[in-house]
Structure 1
Amino acid sequence: MPTLSDPTAATHVTISPKILYFGTPVVLLSTENDDGSANLAPISSAWALGHTVVLGLGPDGQSGHNLTARPEMVINLPAAHQWQAVERIASLTGRHPVPASKRDRFRFEPAKFTAAGLRPQDSLHVHPPRVADCPLQVEARTSRIHTATGGAFLIVEAQVLAVHAHAGIVVAGTDHVDPSAWNPLIYNFRHYFGLGAQLGHSFRSETPAANPSSS
């Protein structure tokens, strides 16, 4: 059997995976329900470009419904060791009645923070609460929502309003997250992972001291 550590192995096979979560960060997304309460939902499709964050959401979920009506959100990023809190609400939905597309796997639960064992924290610029337990919290406002080709997903573009980071993952005296201290939860083909050992840093890095080989 060829292995990745074998430089002579050039064997590839063509596959048709159901999903392409090839190592994406897990987000706990806070949004505001119609009655002013908070919904908390784990999502696995999120990426950032500058201070714009793009999210992929299911069209039948409560998060998509909330953001269509009220644009504010908090993008909370849990650490790797918090995967069990994420999984506790993975099969829950804040949508009632539960959409037909979810009824075989999901059940309605309005108290997501309690179910996850996480604590809400007041936000500074938006109505939905932050997750106090998450080391990184990003307050944001939706700028555009459109439906992906085929209608299977909503693509949400959000503008970042504020970033809150636990002091333990910030390089002292700077606005930089210390990559050697921050270990995000990664969703890798529906399995939870943390980061491995650091291999190096980009030439654009402003925190090269975080690289053990350069200290």
Structure 2
Amino acid sequence: MVRNEHTSDSFLLLPISDDANDFFVASYESRERTSKLIIAALEDNTRIEAQLKTSAGAIQIGGRSYSTGQTVSFALGKLQTYLVQHEYDLTVTHITSSKPISVVSGNNCANVPHDVTACDYLAEQLLPVRFWQKEYLCAKLKTRRNNRLRMISSKNDALVHIGATLVTLNEGEYYEYVSSSDAVTSVISNHPVLIL
């Protein structure tokens, strides 16, 4: 958990399975150069590929400039980490690896929602795609006016029913849902999705 005077966030540490090798990043539009992801390898000679996605702007990695859709490849040794940060949202950057890895993504300073001026710290250890589900129940946060959920699809033609809304998502697309109702929100999809 990170707790600061005006903002805090935490995440549940997840165990790393042998098949933790396919992830989609979840982040948020940033106020500073702070949308980020960090990859940690569990074994030597781990090959990583990251297909970059950004809402705007080139990404500088290792002294080179990359555009959205380009893939960065590199290797990590046991317990080595690799940090990527960008001034724009990195949501749906696709990360695959030859051996098990852990991926944490988030943001040092984000306005959530975009039109509210506040500096929210966000952090999440990502669930590998293999463990995504087709059904979720999301509780209402009692101290907030709205529930804000992001869903990410790893497959094409995902039909997602969220509350009374139906959306179609393709691989590497996301949708942000906002509800002011004081009720549990159900999410049902024909393909597994990630909900944050």
TM-score, normalized by the shorter chain, greater than 0.5: no
- TM-score w.r.t. structure 2 length? 0.25
- Structure having the larger proportion of residues in strand: 2
- TM-score w.r.t. structure 1 length? 0.24
- Structure having the larger proportion of residues in helix: 1
Query: Which is higher, the Rg of structure 1 or of structure 2?
Result: 1
